[in-house]
Amino acid sequence: MDFFANHILSAVLFTPLVGAILLLLIPRQLELAHRIGGNIFGVLGFLVSLPLVVWWKPGVEAFSFQENFSWIPSIGARYHLGIDGISLLLVMLTTFLGMIAILSSWSAIHQRTKEYYILLLLLQTGMIGVFVSLDFFLFYVFWEVMLVPMYFLIGVWGSDRRLYAAIKFFLYTLAGSVVMLLAILALYFYAPVAPGGTRTFDVPTLLAAAQHFSDPLRAWLFWGFFFAFAIKVPMFPFHTWLPDAHTEAPTAGSVILAGVLLKMGTYGFIRFSLPLLPADGPIRSNIVKIVIVLSLIAIVYGALVCLMQKDMKRLIAYSSVSHLGFCTLGIFALTPNGLAGSVLQQINHGISTGALFLIVGVLYERRHTRLISEFGGLATPMPNFAAIYLIISLSSLGMPLLNGFIGEFTILQGAFQVSKAWAAWGTVGVILGAAYLLWLYQRVMFGPVTLPVNERLPDLNFREMATLVPLVFMAFWIGIYPKPFFSLIEKPVQRIVEQVNPNFYQMERAKLPPAGFPAAAVEAK
Amino acid sequence: MLDQAIFYLFAGIAVVSAILTVTRRNAVHSAIFLITALLATAGIFLQLRAEFLFIVQIILYVGGIMVLFVFVIMLVNLDVAVRQMQFARQKWVALLISLALAAQVGLMLWSSRKVPGHGVPVLNAVPADKLPPNTEAVAQSLFSSYLLPFEIASVLLLVAMIGAVVMAKKRT
Amino acid sequence: MLPIGHYLFLGLALFIIGAIGVVTRRNVIVILMSIELILNAVNINLVAFSRLYGDVAGQVFALFIIADAAAEAAVGLGIVIAFFRNRETVLEDEMDLLKW
Amino acid sequence: MHIPFLRALTDYLQGDGAVILPEIELTLFGLGILLIDFTLGVRERYLNAGLALAGTAFSAYTVWKLRLPVAVNGSLLGFHDSVIVDPFFLFFAALFLSATALVILLSVKFLDIEQEQEGEYYALLLFACVGMMFMASGFDLIVIFLGLETMALSFYVLTGFLRREKRSNEASLKYVLLGAFSSGILAYGFSLLYGLSGSTNIDTIGETLGQRNAFVTSLLHNPQSAPPQFDPFLLQMLPVLAFVLVAVGLFFKIAAVPFHQWAPDVYEGAPTPVTIFVSVASKTASFALLLRLFLVVFGATHVNWMYLVAGIAVASLTWGNLAALTQTNVKRLLAYSSISHVGYVLLGLVAGNKTAMTGIGYYLLAYIFMTAGAFAILIVLRQKGLIGEELEDLNGLYQRSPASALLLLIFMLSLAGIPPTAGFMGKYFIFLSLIETKHPILALFAVLYIVPALYYYFRIVVHAWLKAPGEAPRPVMSNAQAVALSVAAFVTLAAGLYPEPFTRLAQYALGR
Amino acid sequence: MTPTGYFLEHLWLIPLFPLVTAALMLLLGRRLPNGAVSVFCVGSVGASFAFALGAVMQLLSAGPENRAAQQILFEWLTPGPMLASNGHLVRFTADWGYLLDPLSCVMVLVVTGVGFLIHIYSIGYMGHEGGYYRFFGYMNLFMFSMLTLVLANNMLLMFVGWEGVGLCSYLLIGFYFLKKSASDAGKKAFIVNRIGDAGFILGILLTAVTFGTIRFTSAGLADVAANSGILQALNGALSAQTLAAGAPVLTTIALLLFVGATGKSAQIPLYVWLPDAMEGPTPVSALIHAATMVTAGVYMVVRMNAIYQLAPLAMDVVAVVGVGTAIFAASMALVQNDIKKVLAYSTISQLGYMFLALGAGAFAAGIFHLMTHAFFKALLFLGAGSVIHAMSGEQDIQKMGGLWNKIPVTAKTFFVATLAIAGIPPLAGFFSKDEILGRAYERHPALWVVGFITAGMTAFYMFRLVFVTFFGYSRADDHAQKHIHESPQTMTIPLVILAVLSVVGGWIGWPPSLGGSNQFEKFLEPVIFSAGSTEAAPQSSPREYLLMLASIAIAVAGIWLAYEFYRAKRFAPELIAGKMRGFYRVLFHKYYVDEIYDALLVNRTKDLGTLLGQFDAKVIDGIGVDGTGWLARFGSTLSMWWDKWIIDGLLNFGAKLTQLLSFPIRFLQTGTFSTYALLILIGLAILLAYYQQHLHVVLRGAR
């Protein structure tokens, strides 16, 4: 038990891997065994990650549950794990969505079941690894490893243009990450070495060292990392792999893709890119301007493109572009609210969009098409489905008391403190979000049943409920009582802002008036 | 003086017959001219006081290799080959490029003649009478400092032998 | 001996002629002969230098190069024969099975 | 013992013989194979393979023992300094031996299928290995040249070993003609080197060239120090000529653009085990030689020829990667990919610092095993009546034989340089060295070429994993093949997951 | 001392009741019998009405100066420190708390009271509809949101209610979701509102950074200093001279919030959704689109009146927009034939009145009119519903007529409501409208003129409605004729109660000039910010009487005109319509505003979407991705056919050259081997040349 407590992160990281290896040993004929085994390990992965929350204490040091073992001493790469509030949330999201994704594919997958579950579990390990590793080398390894199972998930179990989509996804991401590799190496090389000491890939050390780099160098490093993350997020000009990948991927694949993979980009921005920003000055302000403008374009652009989509999955994919635009906007506002909102919005997006993909998956399993025109009036045959779908749409379009609103509002607040115009553009996205999501909902659910095929569609069965209801629950929780989440990420966010944007805290460092000011105002009345 | 005469004589023969070697349509003629060129080279060796090599050149090349060539030429039916075109269709470009290369290298050698000793460390050769008796010297170094190459050469020749046998062996 | 330049030029001439043979002839046997010419050029260089330095290392090298020439010729001709058996030709541009 | 012969023998083996003992053993085993081959019936021919394996094993053991004296006194010289045994040699010898062993293991069944189960084949393998070892250990131009030729000749023959195969004949004929031509060029360069230094010992040559270079630089700084006819530029003429000739000869052997064009044809035409041997062993040996010469002989002028090599490297990367994109024959595709790998290693040579050397060592090590593995899959595919070299032949390999499909995936990932595989680590060191030596643009080139590379490697993967199987038979893996494959896969993965020992090894060999 | 008491401490129960029943309905309502559904839902609303009453009573027990009860349940949104515009760092919090002060008293009573009546009415009206449980579930959800809106103690929570009511209106408009027009209308309503909401959010954000808090006031809190409100912060800023009246930031806030108000309260330019919203069931129109939701904007502006009063410019905008909307909508109402459409436009116009009042600084009057309007407009809608019910679903008044005796209760109550809205004393409408007009005059006579004309138009179209619907001979087809019947009691009783309210409801605001003491205004006094200069100027009473008479006169005139047209038929309206056909058509097509919006905004947006989608497919993918792929493939083909194209090209060139030099050349295909060999030579040459040149540069330092 004590051992478990000391190696909790490794346990979380490798549980799915163990599962994959065990499934490897089961002969492929026993499809049911694979299904059950896969689900067991999906749930197990989540359960194992629960202690992280239970034992979590906002520690004084930046990262908790650290594990640090020697791996490749000759180049200074170590097996160094650790999480702060942000990564904790993302890890939980990963295990949670992973469990749901695995459950969701019970009846969707009929061929190569064995490999399917193995790959899902491998993917799980890869993604968790990205979020927990505190060693650049380890991080990069996980970052790349995770591509392969995703490639196969799309390529084997995807729909018609899967090969194109899969390789597009792979090449796009790879192109970004190899540049990141260079940036990592440069960081590794330019970081000063203690006399007699060896070079290291340790993330905190290197990022601390980066603070003393010259501005141009930091700018170069920033751009080096930027492409990898921007492609992953994806930001505006690099987003075109996303619709294809989403559209072709199997449901679970899309859920993971939208729910977790995209977050790697934003996570990378928060964890690595921000500390590399040059010190306050023209270079930095230019960089921030560029990124922000890209985010705003993404917000409006993605929303607008959604309006013309004929394919549900494609529409949702583009909506992800818009939502992730919010996340990046919040990140590069460099204010506590923006960052906190962005982190929360990542979780929200994982929940809402994941659920949306599940919903499309439900329809796809019944009709084997994703064309909006193929549906219509489904509210009559499938009332429960209609209800859940409505709630999810609302959460995605930022209805108060649902998760989306909290994130968007906080982000807008964070951006507003820097520039009113940014927030104003953001609200355009909010408006359009309502437009395309409700329009989609209306076209799919409302009106008379247009096609005879749709008249007899069965409503959600128990398993599908089991996949969707937890997400709905989470949506309401975050929407109504987000305080625990905020308190979780407050410390790390503050740490980051203090590091990146120190003069934010310059003003009134000493006292934080509770709310409203000046305190004198009260007796002035 | 005599040296020069000998050198230019043999050099001229060598070059001319080399040219003829690569230009004759008939492979047999090429072989003949190759032999001539090799013999001329042997003459150059002699002029360079390398008697042993002179002998080896004549015996091994002229006696051995060329016989092999002629033998093979006879083996592959010749008359067909002669009637076919003898030069690749790119010959002019090839010629152009080769000559360009020749000019390039030649220029390098020519320009480096300004440097004392033509760019080679020693300025002028050891006088001929100071030279050790050639064959002994060769034997000396061959079996002392170049013993290992000698051993490797045996392996090399063995490989060549096996190879020739494997390749030329009638198919089983 | 004459200034080393003479020998260098002679070697160069033979080398280039051999090269020309290699790149212009179609008959692989003649191509092999041209290669012999190239090796011969090398020998001239070596012997000239060895004369210049007054040590026999160059001559020994030349000796081994002759041996190598012999070996190459043997193997090469053997391969030519094998090729000829299969293809009834000795023209290099009829080696056209393997191409882009 | 009082038998003088034995006394002599033991003396010899304590003295000079010690440094060439591995080669001696291999040669003896080769001769042994040739001897017993006649006595063996057609059914027992596989014993040759056993014998050859034993030979490599003995030789490997000797190499392993040799590390002790090397550890004691840096390096061992023998035969009047014409051969050296140092970590460099030990490392490469180990590589050659393991490559040879892999090839032997993979050859047995293949030759049975081809009905060419001959003793000479294995003998030639061993002799080729001997040649390579002399290339790595030779410290004298003559030794090096002879070693090179021994290897080359064996390869010419091995390439044409399937005498009934038209493509095999053709490949070997092209190979022998071009090879002879290139070694002619190399020999010409060697002759100039000899002329420049009056010695065939590469150490001496290196010193002389170094002095000349120093003299030239001193001339540059104070031109008055020497009579005017000592023009620094003209002084470098012959060295330049020598360098370029030698370089071209070696670039040809490692198949760097634009001297690469024999490689695809030979790879495609040669029997697949020999393809492995050519692409893996001969390339590594040529690299060993290239490193030795460039660092020892031309080390002084590194700054001068650095960019020349860089140009060759970028050309190889570009051409290799682009040409591979549209190949349909797997062997040919891998040939072009191997050309691009040459580009990466040469980039390491451009950087030329400690990291780069480690990287080159690591890269070659990884390259041997992953390439061997990739080709080995094709050998496994080779069945009676199925060549199995086209991409279509791989279709549905996953359904036909999941294990080999998985291995194929691993090798492809490693070749493309995706962690955690050996290929990535090799690239890692190269990139790092480029950054350390301030060549960011080159580094960017090198890194971005991973993307097209992944594309064509995954064309293979797509055929093996995502395409429906035709009526092709299920490939059956012989034990020897299984052993070879698992060794290759193990190294590929181990060197990616736990690179520490391999890194140390590479550093031990080159990183100094 | 702050008022206390059970009800005040359990304010949160008021919205909770409907929420619980709503959840119940939506989760397992399908399994419940209609009876149970109605008991639960109507009961819950009744309960919250009762609690609201109790709470108000306990509040009234306190003295006027500290009539405010506020309780914070928990901190809802705490995103951490926020950088306020004055350079302070504040720990921004939006708490989940309820505030009951005179203003919210009025609202909560109106909402729960009218809502309760409408719920009762719905039992009868929706009795035969499918999805009964769904309807009541949505209605209760709406009640919850509306109560959250009016009881919220901070802007963000108010926004929650704000969005909630929007959502419910979306669901309820689209209640007959099988009708495309219905779901379209719902969508339209939601999205148009969303545009307003964008402004609202920005307003909230600006308020937050300006004042560091979004709590309305700290009044009624235990620890006032700890968590102050906008009011306190504003005062502090004023006293600290960091803010002055008319400061641009205040104007911006006011205008942004007003954008939100125009959306929710259907003012120009965002009113277009309301007429379409009539697709919903009539009780919905009564509750949401007449009595409660659409007045949210008014309520919000009054809530923030402190800021508005310090932003005169914004006040002007509000007034102008209000009065403009009033007359605009009224003019459209003149010619409508759909009974509910007429009421819808009249609603818009009345809302315009309210905003006119607010703009004129008469916040109390605005709220007063809001309340009375809630009474009679709800009554009108319910009456209309009853008519439609009687006419078995017919909504076109041209197909009605002569209903006066057939459905007496409906007709009479409807008539009362009509009188009230027309502003005939002493009915409720008179007092509120008259006060508004009076204050408008003080603000600017022009405002008064427009409002005055609008009053006349109102009287006209309302009576037109009455006459055409209830009098004359019936124009309905006989199938409908047979079914005409008075509605059940569940529907008529609310009508009667509302009728009574429409009569007496206005008396609490009996103006001093008529011997009354405007209790209502006094009651609202505490919540109206008094720092501003807008002191109610002592008005010379003769002018007040004049204005009063004038408004009565115009109302009567309107009624008379309507009588002449539609009852006595002395002139045929067709003639008028014929005389100014163009104008008539414009009116009839509601000024083509919808069409214009579609043409200018909606379709263009969709086109943009299509365009950008194309951009993705063609440009980014086309050039960016596939382009590079193509390049790579091209490059590979290039190098693949290097032999053929480059070498051979070279050869051919050489051949041509030599041909020109008249050398006979025979064309044969290239020899691969010699090509390779030649390439080696070329490479050799190139390397030599390069290296030589390089050294030349290095050693001769030249070129």
User: Tell me: the pLDDT tens digits for E450-499?
Assistant: 888 888 888 888 888 888 888 877 777 777 777 778 888 888 888 888 88
Give the mean pLDDT of E394-408. 80
Bigger pLDDT: A352 vs D45: A352
Does the structure show a pLDDT above 80 at E385?
Answer: yes
CB contact under 8 A, E681 and B96: no
Q: Which two tokens stand for residue D441?
A: 């643009």
Interface contacts (D, E; CB < 8 Å): 87
Q: Which residues face A79 on adjacent strands?
A: A69
Q: For position E593, what pLDDT does the model report?
A: 73
Percent of chain E residues past pLDDT 70, beyond the cut: 87
Question: What separation, in Å, do the N-terminal and C-terminal C-alpha atoms of chain A show?
Answer: 60
For residue D107, what is the enclosing H or E element? helix D87-114
Answer for the pair E356, E326: CB distance below 8 angstroms, yes or no: yes
d(CA E132, CA E138): 10
d(CA D432, CA D437): 9
Confidence label for A519 from pLDDT (cuts 50, 70 and 90): very low
Q: Which residues of B touch C91 (CB under 8 A)?
A: 81, 84
pLDDT in tens, E120-147: 888 888 877 777 888 888 889 999 999 9
Mean pLDDT of chain E: 80
Q: For position B70, what pLDDT does the model report?
A: 83
d(CA B64, CA B67): 5
Confidence label for E628 from pLDDT (cuts 50, 70 and 90): low
Q: For position E533, what pLDDT does the model report?
A: 46
3-state helix, strand, coil in chain C (%, to 5): 80, 5, 15
Q: Which residues of E touch D305 (CB under 8 A)?
A: 691
For B90, name the nearest residue in chain E, comparing CA atoms only.
E651
Q: Which residues of E touch B101 (CB under 8 A)?
A: 681, 684-685, 688
Q: D378: exposed, middle or buried (C-beta count within 10 Å: 0-12, 13-18, 19+)?
A: buried
For E679, name the nearest residue in chain C, comparing CA atoms only.
C23
Q: For position D64, what pLDDT does the model report?
A: 93
Nearest to E374 by CA among E565, E113, E168, E193: E113
Q: What are the distances in angstroms from CA A61 to CA A129, A210, A494, E266?
A: 21, 20, 13, 54
Strand pairing of D83-85 and E69-83? unpaired
Pick the range with the lowest mean pLDDT from A226-240, A499-513, D360-374, E344-358.
Answer: A499-513
Alpha helix ranges (H) inside E272-311: 273-276, 282-286, 296-303, 305-309
Whether the CA torsion E151, E155, E157, E161 is positive or negative: it is positive
* φ, ψ at B127 (rounded to 5°): -60, 145
Interface contacts (C, D; CB < 8 Å): 132
- A:311-350 residues touching chain E, CB 8 A cutoff: 335-337, 340-341
For residue A68, what is the enclosing H or E element? strand A64-72
Task: Decide if A217 touches D, using CB distance below 8 A.
Answer: no
Answer for the pair A275, A396: CB distance below 8 angstroms, yes or no: no
* φ, ψ at E154 (rounded to 5°): -150, 165
d(CA A457, CA E410): 45
Inter-helix orientation angle B27-47/C28-53, to 10°: 0
Q: For position E623, what pLDDT does the model report?
A: 60
Bigger pLDDT: D137 vs E222: D137
Task: Suggest the residue from E65, E159, E163 to mutate for an interface test with chain A (most A CBs closer than 10 A).
Answer: E163
Confidence label for E240 from pLDDT (cuts 50, 70 and 90): confident
Task: Decide if D326 touches E, using CB distance below 8 A.
Answer: yes
Q: For position E312, what pLDDT does the model report?
A: 87
Q: For position A510, what pLDDT does the model report?
A: 40
Percent of chain A residues past pLDDT 70, beyond the cut: 96
Bigger pLDDT: A519 vs A305: A305
Q: Which residues face E100 on adjacent strands?
A: E69
d(CA D131, CA D138): 10
Q: Which two tokens stand for residue D230?
A: 């000592």
3-state helix, strand, coil in chain E (%, to 5): 75, 5, 20
Q: For position C98, what pLDDT does the model report?
A: 67
Q: Which two tokens stand for residue D182?
A: 């290139």
Contacts 24+ apart (CB under 8 A), D285-288: D285/D92, D285/D96, D285/D131, D285/D132, D285/D135, D285/D136, D285/D151, D286/D135, D286/D148, D286/D250, D286/D253, D286/D254, D287/D254, D287/D345, D287/D360, D287/D364, D288/D88, D288/D92, D288/D132, D288/D135, D288/D136
Nearest to A319 by CA among A270, A356, A344, A347: A356
Percent of chain E residues past pLDDT 90, beyond the cut: 9
pLDDT in tens, A209-222: 888 888 899 999 99
Q: Which two tokens stand for residue C69?
A: 């020439």
Q: Which residues of E touch A410 (CB under 8 A)?
A: 77, 79
Q: What are the distances in angstroms from CA D94 to CA D56, D89, D282, D376?
A: 10, 8, 14, 20
In this prediction the pTM is: 0.89
Residue B43 to chain E, least CA–CA distance (Å): 29
Q: From the list B47, B53, B164, which residue is nearest C74 (CB)?
A: B164
Answer for the pair A361, A251: CB distance below 8 angstroms, yes or no: yes
For residue C60, what is the enclosing H or E element? helix C57-87
Does the structure show a pLDDT above 50 at D183?
Answer: yes
Task: Decide if A176 touches D, using CB distance below 8 A.
Answer: no
Q: A342: exposed, middle or buried (C-beta count within 10 Å: 0-12, 13-18, 19+)?
A: buried
Confidence label for A513 from pLDDT (cuts 50, 70 and 90): very low
pLDDT in tens, D2-54: 678 888 888 888 878 888 999 999 999 999 999 998 888 878 888 899 999 99
To which residue do tokens 């009679």 refer? E376
Give the mean pLDDT of E667-675. 52
pLDDT in tens, D324-350: 877 888 998 999 999 999 999 999 999
Nearest to E197 by CA among A124, D328, A435, C82: A435
Q: Which residues of B touch D38 (CB under 8 A)?
A: none
d(CA D103, CA D278): 10
Give the mean pLDDT of A375-384. 85
Nearest to B40 by CA among C49, D187, C66, C14: C14
Q: State yes or no: chains A and B have 3 or more CB pairs below 8 A.
A: no
Give the mean pLDDT of E388-411. 81
Amino acid, res. C70: A
Confidence label for E505 from pLDDT (cuts 50, 70 and 90): confident
d(CA A361, CA A368): 9
Amino acid, res. D470: G
d(CA E566, CA E464): 6
Give the mean pLDDT of E328-346. 85
Confidence label for E284 from pLDDT (cuts 50, 70 and 90): confident
CB contact under 8 A, E681 and C93: no
Nearest to A110 by CA among A152, A41, A157, A163: A157
Q: Which residues of B touch C5 (CB under 8 A)?
A: 109, 113, 118
Bigger pLDDT: A336 vs B172: A336
Q: Chains near C, with 3+ CB pairs < 8 A?
A: B, D, E
State CA A182 to chain mean position distance: 24
Most confident of A434-438, D224-228, D283-287: D283-287
Give the mean pLDDT of E683-702. 85
Amino acid, res. E36: A
Nearest to B72 by CA among C33, E209, E114: C33
CB contact under 8 A, E240 and A305: no
Q: Which residues of B touch D234 (CB under 8 A)?
A: 111-112, 114-115, 119
Nearest to A264 by CA among A136, A117, A143, A358: A143
Q: What is the ipTM of this complex?
A: 0.89
Does the structure show a pLDDT above 60 at A262?
Answer: yes
Whether the CA torsion E246, E249, E254, E259 is positive or negative: it is positive
Give the mean pLDDT of E236-243. 79
Confidence label for E291 from pLDDT (cuts 50, 70 and 90): confident
Pick the range with the lowest mean pLDDT from A142-146, E377-381, E544-548.
Answer: E544-548
Answer for the pair D248, B101: CB distance below 8 angstroms, yes or no: no
Nearest to E352 by CA among E335, E376, E331: E331
Q: What are the distances in angstroms from CA E345 to CA A232, E271, E277, E335, E350?
A: 51, 9, 11, 11, 9
Nearest to E410 by CA among E339, E507, E334: E339
Q: State yes or no: chains A and D have 3 or more CB pairs below 8 A.
A: yes
d(CA E351, CA E373): 9
CB contact under 8 A, B89 and E692: no
Pick the range with the lowest mean pLDDT from D187-201, E79-93, E550-564.
Answer: E79-93
* φ, ψ at C95 (rounded to 5°): -85, 85
* φ, ψ at B95 (rounded to 5°): -60, -50
pLDDT in tens, D209-249: 999 999 888 888 887 777 777 888 888 889 999 999 999 99
Does the structure show a pLDDT above 90 at E12?
Answer: no
CB contact under 8 A, B101 and E681: yes
d(CA D338, CA D319): 11
Answer for the pair C83, B172: CB distance below 8 angstroms, yes or no: no
Bigger pLDDT: A35 vs E649: A35
CB contact under 8 A, E654 and B104: no
Answer for the pair E335, E282: CB distance below 8 angstroms, yes or no: no
For residue D273, what is the enclosing H or E element? helix D272-276
Residue E698 to chain B, least CA–CA distance (Å): 17
Residue D258: cis peptide before it, omega within 30 degrees of 0: yes
Give the mean pLDDT of E268-292. 84
Q: For position E627, what pLDDT does the model report?
A: 59
* SS3 state at E270: coil
Residue E649 to chain C, least CA–CA distance (Å): 17
For A484, name the nearest residue in chain E, comparing CA atoms only.
E78
pLDDT in tens, D62-72: 999 999 988 88
d(CA E152, CA E168): 18
3-state helix, strand, coil in chain A (%, to 5): 75, 5, 20
Alpha helix ranges (H) inside A257-310: 262-268, 274-276, 282-307
Does the structure show a pLDDT above 80 at E221?
Answer: no
d(CA A455, CA A335): 51
Strand pairing of D76-78 and A64-72? unpaired
Alpha helix ranges (H) inside E61-131: 102-125
Q: For position A185, what pLDDT does the model report?
A: 93
CB contact under 8 A, D195 and C45: yes
d(CA D413, CA D409): 6
CB contact under 8 A, D447 and A72: no
Confidence label for E654 from pLDDT (cuts 50, 70 and 90): very low
Does the structure show a pLDDT above 70 at B66?
Answer: yes
Pick the range with the lowest mean pLDDT from A403-412, A509-518, D147-156, D171-180.
Answer: A509-518
Task: Decide if E546 touches B, using CB distance below 8 A.
Answer: no
Task: Suggest the residue from A181, A184, A220 to mutate for an interface test with chain D (most D CBs closer than 10 A).
Answer: A181
Q: Which residues face E97 on adjacent strands?
A: E72
Pick the range with the lowest mean pLDDT from D168-182, E663-677, E678-692.
Answer: E663-677
Answer for the pair A19, A38: CB distance below 8 angstroms, yes or no: yes
CB contact under 8 A, E202 and A172: no
pLDDT in tens, D419-447: 889 999 999 999 999 999 999 999 998 99
Does the structure show a pLDDT above 90 at A235?
Answer: no
Mean pLDDT of chain A: 87
- E:322-341 residues touching chain B, CB 8 A cutoff: none
Q: From the list D190, D191, D265, which residue is nearest C98 (CB)?
A: D265
To which residue do tokens 């009582």 refer? A481
